[in-house]
Amino acid sequence: MAMERELARDLLSKVRNRGATEADVLVVETDSSTTQVRLREIEALKSARERRIHLRVMFGKSSAATSTSDFSRRALDQLVDETCTLARATAPDDYLGLPGSEALAKSIPDLGLFDATAQELGVEERIALAKQSESAALDYDSRIVNSEGAGLDTHASQIVYANTHGFVGEYRTSTFSLAVSPIAGEGGVMQRDSWYSVSRTFKGLEAPETVGATAAKRALRRLGARKVPTQDAPIVFDPDMAASLLRTIAGAASGTSIYRGTSFLLNRLGEQVAADSVTVIDDGTIPGALGSRPFDGEGVPTRRTVVVEHGVLQSYLLDTYCARRLGLTSTGNAAREAGGISVGSANLYLVPGTHTPEEIIGSVKSGLYLTELIGFGVNMVTGDYSRGAVGLWIENGELTYPVEEITIAGNLLEMWRHIDMVGNDLVFRGRTAAPTLKIERMTIAGN
């Protein structure tokens, strides 16, 4: 990464020569490959190398952020010009600035985020893996009648970050993801579902046969789905849906939503915002995990932050800017995007409880086991929540028939406070993970 370090240093000295007081540069290079098969035949192959430079400059308390995929000398000179012009046009902001040099990462731990297999895997092997996983779904049952295919995606990235405090840090990451989307059909009705595995390492992927068979089971169990009458009932969130619910905490506890006043958790630090059984942690230091990295988007080391402890809101997720605005300290959650810095969670999880998923389902006399949510009906300002839902109906503690074309609705604060059972089945399948959760009561709209 010597060339990228050189490029970063060069850009920093150029903007300094223009009078910038502070600046930072992020260089990201990614090799990616996509292999898609459908109905046992190869459907698409895609591969590429991409790179992008992100530049942020500050003139006192005014700043601008730019990025480009054009690495030519002329383009970079132009980038420097335009960034400086743009920064001078913006109004000053007292809280703006790089993290203090004392806050920057002193060492860069190897978190085991890179597996060179991402660049070494041959086309034939990729195709074979995707085909194996799709075949496992297609062969699982004669009612698997069609498929949207299976895909293996790999990414290998290198990240170099440098700023005008003299900090330079770098690391590599890789991701492997395998997904299968079979279609089950019976009596002229079709149902699609999917299953996936994502990992930093090739060995960490679930076996293709398991991914395919799980996808098939999920599609099959949706056959014969129907609506249920409108009612209030308990809802059991399966682990993926519980993780989706947990993302609402990440969004609402983000320092940006807090200082903007666009969060249902506003002014609730130290308050009970969830049931006693709910403890939520964000940890960017877990070896090999999908949300881990040695330092965040502005060079601050990642860390473990207890966001909610026994239902009490303990901490927001913060980058340097939000931290200064709120009179707090950065939690190492700065993410870099095209528009500059934003706040993002790392590995966010809900600490598992003691109940098995079977016990949780068994506790419900009549209610919904939720397996899919669709739509965007979440108002983060008020916490009002209303989304399309798919799942299985629970009767007398047993999963019975599939349901669809219904909504579930409530208010997030009420929902989090009424979690009355937390499962013991936490598995990291992505950056956000949660065990099976049960909410005592929500409104289901159907017939």
Partner 1 sequence: MTDTDLTPQRFFAEKFGIAQENLGRILGGALGKAADDGDIYFEYLVGEAISLEDGVVKKASKSVSQGAGVRAMAESRTGYGYSDDITIENLAVAARTARAIASESHQSGAVAVGPALPSSHDLYPVRTFPTDVPAEAKIDLLLRIDQIARAYDPRITKVFASVASQQKIVLIATAEGLVVGDILPLVRLSVSCIAEDGRNRQTGTHGGGGRYELSYLLDGHRYERFAREAARQAIVNLDAVEAPAGYLDVVLGPGWPGVLLHEAIGHGLEGDFNRKKVSAFSGRLGERVAAPTVTVVDDGTLPGRRGSLNVDDEGTPTGRTVLIENGVLRGYLQDRLNARLMGMPVTGNGRRESYAHIPMPRMTNTFMLPGEADPQEIIRSVKHGLYAVNFGGGQVDITNGKFVFSASEAYLIEDGQVTRPVKGATLIGNGPDVLTRVSMVGNDLQLDEGVGTCGKDGQSVPVGVGLPTIRVDGMTVGGTRR
| Contacts of partner 1 in 187-226 (CB under 8 A) | 189-192, 222, 225
Q: Considering the complex, what minimum distance in angstroms separates the CB of residue 272 from partner 1?
A: 20
Interface with partner 1 (CB under 8 A), residue from 93, 139, 420, 440: 93
Q: Which is nearer to partner 1, 168 or 390 (CB)?
A: 390
Least Å from the CB of residue 395 to partner 1: 21
**Residue 271 binds partner 1 (CB under 8 A):** no
- Closer residue to partner 1 in complex, CB, 96/111: 96
Rounded CA-CA distance 65/61 in Å is 13
The amino acid at 270 = G
> If binding is defined by CB under 8 A, does position 395 make contact with partner 1?
no
| Residues contacting residue 358 through CB under 8 Å, at least 6 positions apart | none
Q: Is residue 266 involved in binding partner 1 (CB under 8 A)?
A: yes
How many Å apart are CA 280 and CA 275, to the nearest integer? 11
Residues in binding contact with partner 1, number by CB under 8 A: 82
Does 388 sit near partner 1 (CB under 8 A)?
yes
Instruction: Measure the CA–CA gap between 259 and 250, rounded to whole angstroms.
Output: 15
Task: Report the greatest alpha carbon distance in the chain.
Answer: 73
Binding of partner 1 by 302 (CB under 8 A): no
Structure tokens at 357: 């998923």
Under the criterion CB under 8 A, does residue 42 sit at the interface with partner 1? yes
Q: Which helix (H) or strand (E) holds 170?
A: strand 168-186
> Using H for helix, E for strand and C for coil, what is the string for 83-146?
HHHHHHHCCCCCCCCCCCHHHCCCCCCCCCCCCCHHHHCCHHHHHHHHHHHHHHHHCCCCCEEE
234 binds partner 1, rule: CB under 8 A: no
| In the complex, minimum distance from the CB of residue 174 to partner 1, in angstroms, rounded to a whole number | 19
Indicate whether 31 belongs to the interface with partner 1 (CB under 8 A).
no
How far is Cα 84 from Cα 399, in angstroms, rounded to an integer?
61
**In whole angstroms, how close is the CB of 42 to partner 1 at the nearest point?**
6
Q: In this chain, which of 21, 158, 177, 262 binds partner 1, going by CB under 8 A?
A: 262
| Residue 92 touching partner 1 (CB under 8 A) | yes
* Cβ contact 435:239 at 8 Å: yes
From residue 75, alpha-carbon distances to 63, 68, 301, 439, 446 in Å are 20, 8, 32, 54, 56
* Residue range at the interface with partner 1 (CB under 8 A); choices 19-27, 39-47, 245-253, 301-309: 39-47
Choices 18-26, 78-86, 170-178, 235-243; region in contact with partner 1 by CB under 8 A: 78-86
CB of 191 to partner 1, least distance (A): 6
Q: For residue 426, how many other CB atoms are within 10 A of its CB?
A: 19
Are 223 and 184 in contact, with CB atoms under 8 Å apart? yes
102-121 residues in contact with partner 1 (CB under 8 A) are: none
Q: Is 220 within 8 Å of 141 (Cβ atoms)?
A: yes
- Count, in order, helices (H) and strands (E) of the chain: 10, 20
Among 31, 43, 209, 309, binds partner 1 (CB under 8 A): 43
Asked whether position 329 contacts partner 1 by CB under 8 A, the answer is no
Among 86, 306, 326, 335, binds partner 1 (CB under 8 A): 86
Toward partner 1, which CB reaches closer, 210 or 262?
262
Q: Which one of the spans 163-171, 276-284, 294-302, 438-446 is the region binding partner 1 (CB under 8 A)?
A: 438-446
